[in-house]
Amino acid sequence: METDSVNTMPQRESTYSYWAGKLRPYISNTPLWPVAREIKDSMTLRTWERNGRPAPPPSGYKRQVIRQYAKKYGVSTMIETGTLYGEMDIAMKDVFSSIFTIELSPEFHAAAVRRMAPYPHIKCLQGDSAVVFPSVLAQMKSPCLLWLDAHYSAGNTAKAEIDTPISAELDYVFNHPIRNHVVLIDDAHCFDGTHDYPQLKDLEESVLRVRPDLSFTVEHNIIRIVPRTDSAN
């Protein structure tokens, strides 16, 4: 879920965030929203950095990481699992020439289809990512940035038979003929062996056992699995 608030916001930023939040329902489907969100992102990022980068990082940090990795690895396709409001897709619409986003909830999916209508290079798919993600990845002919973020997240978010499809998704990624996908997984803190998540250590061991050529690191709550020779860390 969005984690835009940083505890100790300066007055100017908290006033801006207040009004951006109030106006969001009215402007989120207009060209004004990406501009308003860019300003909000840079303010929350500055505050987060000034405060010593406490956990959890703001959403603007996640967007910054995806932009950095896309540039560093020269990938032009992003596959996101877990669309929610489509905020990441809108933020990345000018970074990638092709975006696929997968959402289990029919309601979130329908809203995303409406929101992405002006951007034909963003494809919204509905279903359980454990099933839909392999069928999308199977069509890919070049390395992609994979933002793996589908999971039950409380509230009205969807839940499949299990809380997270991450193990099925990763099995498929590491057996895919393209060996250099850039894998970013949000919410590393969830990987504690409960609610269908593997333990972080077990995940690292199992990834490196099948793919010793990869680098596995965790920074600011994002798991990063990338080709070792090109590690971004």
Ligand X SMILES: C[S@@+](CC[C@H](N)C(=O)[O-])C[C@H]1O[C@@H](n2cnc3c(N)ncnc32)[C@H](O)[C@@H]1O
Measure the CA–CA gap between 59 and 132, rounded to whole angstroms.
Answer: 25
Residues 6+ apart with CB under 8 A from 85: 2, 28, 108, 111, 112, 115
| Inter-residue contact 51 to 8 (CB < 8 Å) | yes
Tokens found for residue 126: 């509905």
β-sheet bridge partners, residue 77:
98
Q: Which of 61, 108, 191, 216 binds ligand X (CB under 6 A)?
A: 108
Tokens found for residue 31: 């060209």
Identity of the residue, 165 or 198, whose beta carbon is nearer to ligand X in the bound complex = 165
CB of 151 to ligand X, least distance (A): 5
Stretch that binds ligand X, among 9-17, 22-30, 148-156, 215-223 (CB under 6 A): 148-156
Identity of the residue, 187 or 211, whose beta carbon is nearer to ligand X in the bound complex = 187
Among 27, 128, 134, 137, which Cα is nearest to 40's? Answer: 27
When asked if residue 165 is in the footprint of ligand X (CB under 6 A), the reply is: yes
When asked if residue 90 is in the footprint of ligand X (CB under 6 A), the reply is: no
| Residues 26-45 within binding reach of ligand X (CB under 6 A) | none
Identity of the residue, 43 or 88, whose beta carbon is nearer to ligand X in the bound complex = 88
Identity of the residue, 151 or 181, whose beta carbon is nearer to ligand X in the bound complex = 151
| Residues 167-226 within binding reach of ligand X (CB under 6 A) | none
β-sheet bridge partners, residue 147:
80, 184
**In the bound complex, which residue of the shown chain has the CB atom lying closest to ligand X?**
82
116-119 long-range contacts (CB < 8 A, ≥24 apart) are 116/86, 116/89, 116/90, 119/89, 119/90, 119/93
When asked if residue 136 is in the footprint of ligand X (CB under 6 A), the reply is: no
Q: Which of 65, 75, 78, 84 binds ligand X (CB under 6 A)?
A: 84
Tokens found for residue 10: 């300066």
Stretch that binds ligand X, among 21-29, 74-82, 112-120, 223-231 (CB under 6 A): 74-82
Measure the CA–CA gap between 114 and 94, rounded to whole angstroms.
Answer: 18
Contact residues toward ligand X (CB under 6 A) are 1, 80-82, 84, 87-88, 102-105, 108, 128-130, 149-153, 157-160, 165
